Structure 1
């Protein structure tokens, strides 16, 4: 209003400018002669802007001379992918049957009619960008509820909306500001590597809007003192992906919490892990015992040598004393030999324990790359040609049946394949049934049934309680193991496939992948079918324990 009055004062030298309260004592005369040239230019631009805004928003009503209400302001927040109600309530004594409601999205470059309802024709028109996503509350029109239900909120829907209601030559306008937000998935915490004496942890999550806030907490819910590095990137869908890292120092609280906060929705999502002390580099207690014993032995040897030298001077003239010293010397030598034997035994025990821990650490590293595997039992199965396996098509089931030179085994191939990285999964196998499982290259999966050539798959199969690998029919050495769960690690970085006995964490065999000139880009897991059925073997979900019970 003040801009319009100042603009009119520029047009009329004797125009009186009155303050907003309408007090006559506050009126002031404005003359062109007292306005500097720069002030005159600024006021002229403001006058033209005010006329443009008033004409653009209300030109239909200015032509008809209708009354226009002020714009109440309302702010609502919608969650991406869900619905939100844009409120618009008209307070009137009576709302006739013939009226119109129009919702307008106010973009910077244009104004889009989101949805319009015409009470005269009882029709509703929607913009193509909002097709099948808007809905009026028709049963509540007479009560003045002209709100709009916006479904499947998108990131592009944020902005200001105007609700225009017209009836009986009157117009009611309501301005609604829509803010959008999204809550992403539960963050995942990964143990990356050791940094000197520290452990590097990485937390990843995606699907957030707007940019979330990242907080690292300890077991008591306090913010951790370690420095962290956070990278927030926008994905193609308009949502944000978060990757944050920190180094956990030895001696600090080993319970770590990664919390992601959406300040707009005031909601959080977090994950907690407990890091075992075994992951921190430390000195073995057996090594400490060995060093203590060695030091004591050296001290004892030095003491004995000094004592012998001292006694030798005193017993030069005494034969008995000399014989006693020789006897004592022999005893000391015997004690040293026994001590050496004890040290060798302790060293052997330490070496065996180190090898065992190395094998277990390799298995835990493989389990950290666990991925879900799904198989469609109704899909057309393929057949593998293996040596040393029983022919599943033969009716001869006696225990004395001879192994065929080359037999075929039906398999079911996984729905998802892998082109790079490391991937691990586990399969529960039958003790009374022969089986074969492993990975197959892409060109083998695309065939419509038939027998796959041996260069297209890498597998481990069981025949008559013996295990064979697809690498030259290599027979695995028999071990006292119950092969109830087999773990498979597809390592495309090292180009090899590893098979584990997952219960006792034993590496059975490692098969290199030779791609040749016609290398496939994708590898797919496969499992055998249960005997007499169309169902595959059970693919067991992998659970990695957070606390290691064995040392």
Structure 2
């Protein structure tokens, strides 16, 4: 598109004429009319994008009026549509038409694509990336584009200034530097700041497109003293300078002194080389110190930024957890997740686990002795079910309760709840009437069981990815729900939801499977 800024530049040119201005105005009006017909226009930055060589460049474009560009065909190109710098179509990058020099270095920044804003990110900018880019948007039969100017700035080496030797009537001084882009400007000046004209200047480009410059000057004024050579980037105005001291004895004198000068020049050259070397060493040391301070400052800024980002991430995570917890607590009964949050809806049961027997079973050297002890215990236990967990209150007949049991490194166990039916006059209340709703482990197999004293009415095999180390049991008496969760993984194991409780419920924990428990005499 022809921009207003481009029109102003043309008007200010020496070749400006009224007829030409009228033609440009008509072209601008036609471009505006075409944008209105197509339904959108594309705007680029008013000023060129300037980046340092080797850094990343971001070239933005914006649809006007704001609208989503996610469905559009977006193409970035230099002088011709294909091959292109970058092609975005059907919601993804299309690499088939991409220029080889941009492969692996470009991507589309789509953070604002739903509002019509996209940007081309070019990584590790090269000298060849300098120039114009066009962002082309196509929606059906309508298309618009804008021009984005990228200026690559290469700040090369500081100039190296040295004397070449005597010339007729003076001394020739050479100034050289390399690694600059675009073509730099060279300026000589004396100690009073007066600019001097170069005698010759040669600029060449290497294979990366970077410029090397060599400029020479013949100094005839022996009182000039210091001479400064400055190399300046024409785009950014940044420059680097070096100075050289021209001793008066180096300048040619009248013929009688030529022989003496010829003898002293080598000595003076060596002296000057020593002085220059000392100055260079001091300059290098100063540059290293400045570079070290810049690096330390950058590292401090980076650490501060990383700390701020970590704090921000922590706050975002905290807010997200609060949001999820609020959603969970609204409908926690259906969400089979987050047992820690679920505890807030339940009351911790007052239970005691026989720790001595429990811990003996986790000791490999005492497992065999423990098996004999538990066999004797199963025959002598007054309750007859080897229950290792004791409820320090009356059985549960209402409310919501939970308790936790650690089962690390136990090969065989049964964990859950048993129901003791309500006592009716004239009926026995012995263990024959108990109903167990439990999860058991035997070897590597897990099962959910509902059983009485002699039969099993529900048997369901459970597939667990990891062995639970600690299990929490949630009992909701009014909802007739018994749920098991793996506290280590925070995952749901199984829920008994079909039962209708009518009696008192008690925790149950045994270091045998139900098959052993049912086969033992009461």
Q: Judge same fold: TM > 0.5, yes or no.
A: no
TM range, smaller chain: 0.3 to 0.5
TM-score normalised over the length of structure 1: 0.37
Rg bigger for which structure? 2
Compare the two structures and name the one with the higher helix fraction.
2
Q: Using structure 2 for the length normalisation, give the TM-score.
A: 0.39
